[in-house]
Amino acid sequence: MLNSVKWEISPLRIDKFYYICSMKRSRFIVVTLLVILSLAVLITIEAVWAVRTYRDLRVGYQRQIVSILDEALHQYVTPINGSKTHVNIGDAERFYAIVAEELRTSGIETPFMVEVLTTTDDDLMLLMSWGGDDLDSERLSIDNRDYAPLIMRLTVEDPHASIIESMLSILILQALSILLLIVAFVYLLVTLFRAKSIDKIRRDLTHNITHELKTPIAAAYAANDVLLTSPDVAANDELRSDYLRMTHDELERLNHLVEEILRTATEEGYCYELRIEECDIEAIVARVVKSLDMKYATRKVDWHIEISPHVTLIADSFHLEGIISALADNAIKYSLDEATVGISVSVDDNYAYVNISDRGVGIARVEQRRIFDKFYRITAGNRHDTKGYGLGLHYVRTMIRRHGGTITVTSSRGKGSTFSIKLPRYGTKRDISR
């Protein structure tokens, strides 16, 4: 099966992969905290920069308004007889026009209001005002006291909205960059934990297969050794037949393991083409039941079969039988004592629906999303009361997808499971050879 994986990995990359897989939990925590700290520092820096930029722009805007007012006053007011404290304010409309022109020249297009005030006992009294009809509730007022006791005040709309608008594109880019970093960080963590999980599954699989290989090999070797070293046993037809049958059975167990691995390697082959033909579901289910009854001859299996007569569909009969067999086999394996297995088939104009149910141990909700992953097993890696290598359900889902169908599972702990298959009854136009 490993030969079917078309990766070219250098020894350095392999070393890095196993280093990642072998990382301790404490190192994962340290890496996570460092990345979170880095993101926090980056976000803080960006926030400080945004606040300072906003303040600088606002201060610059206020300075520009003061400069405009000073320039307008310089053009408008004229001292009386050379006095620096007494001025002639002249035509009010001309001052309004001067301010409007200065604002337009500076590129500030906003409603404004010009006011002339005076001070009386530390109170302000309005003498004249121009404009301001379009000003909203948020205002920015600039006073000029160079010509006391007159106060010339220019009021414009608060620049908050325009400043934020000018910074909006940069703020969006900063937010997107931070979001991308967070997504990359989460993806990295998921990848690391998945790599560690895959390594654990790999070690469990190696342990399981090693255990399963050693048992039949040891039994076959012992039986063969007895026949070679004990002439009395070899001369006895009945004993010789028993030992040969034992050897044959153990070799059959080895063959079953090899077939599972080869079947998984075959379903990964991109050049493999399904042999599409008309399939008799009833006949396929009958063969599956007969085969599993022989396999589990020492167990009682209560079959509940509900199939309409003469139900056919277009599919690969070999793999369709393998799909039903794998699911029914699991239903028996994961039943505690007496197994109750239900197989029902129904059809409509376009689809066939196959349901395989049991009353076994069930599958926890958290496990259901992973049971179709290759090599994944719910049973702990060092337990062998339920045989398997995590290949069956992966094979089932892969072949159903290649037929253009879907499979779902409904289950809960202690209440059994139901696998529901939906297949196109007359094949699919999709390229099922890939």
**Residue at 38 is within a domain:** no
* pLDDT string in tens for the chain (434-residue length): 333 333 333 333 434 444 444 556 677 778 778 888 888 898 899 889 989 999 999 888 888 888 888 888 777 766 555 555 555 666 667 778 888 888 888 888 888 888 877 777 777 777 777 777 666 666 666 666 555 567 778 888 888 888 888 888 888 988 898 889 888 888 887 887 777 766 666 666 666 556 556 666 777 777 788 888 888 877 888 888 888 887 887 777 677 666 665 655 555 544 456 788 888 889 999 988 988 887 787 888 899 999 887 788 889 888 898 899 889 988 988 888 788 899 999 988 888 999 999 988 888 887 777 787 776 666 543 334 455 556 678 888 888 988 899 999 998 888 889 999 999 988 764 444 43
Which of 140, 158, 176 marks a domain boundary? Answer: 158
The three-state secondary structure class of 354 is: strand
- The reported pLDDT for the residue numbered 66 is 86
- The reported pLDDT for the residue numbered 187 is 85
Which of 125, 158, 191 marks a domain boundary? Answer: 158
- Tens digit of pLDDT for each residue in 117-146? 777 777 777 777 777 766 666 666 666 655
- The reported pLDDT for the residue numbered 261 is 59
**Residue at 111 is within a domain:** yes
Q: Measured between alpha carbons, how far apart are the two ends of the chain, in Å?
A: 18
**Residue at 118 is within a domain:** yes
Which of 158, 189, 224 marks a domain boundary? Answer: 158
- The reported pLDDT for the residue numbered 82 is 58
CA distance 403 to 427: 7
For the whole model, what pTM was predicted? 0.47
Q: Which domain holds residue 411?
A: 276-424
Which sign, positive or negative, has the C-alpha torsion 99, 102, 106, 110?
A: positive
- Tell me the CATH number at 369: 3.30.565.10
All residues at 6 or more sequence positions from 15 whose CB lies less than 8 Å from its CB, including other chains: none
CA distance 395 to 376: 12
- The reported pLDDT for the residue numbered 305 is 92
**Structural domain tally of the chain?**
2
**Residue at 218 is within a domain:** no
CA distance 145 to 141: 13
On whether both 153 and 280 belong to a single domain, the answer is no
**Residue at 282 is within a domain:** yes
On whether both 150 and 289 belong to a single domain, the answer is no
**Residue at 71 is within a domain:** no
**Residue at 208 is within a domain:** no
CA distance 282 to 70: 98
Whether cis (ω within 30° of 0) applies to the bond prior to 11 is no
**Residue at 414 is within a domain:** yes
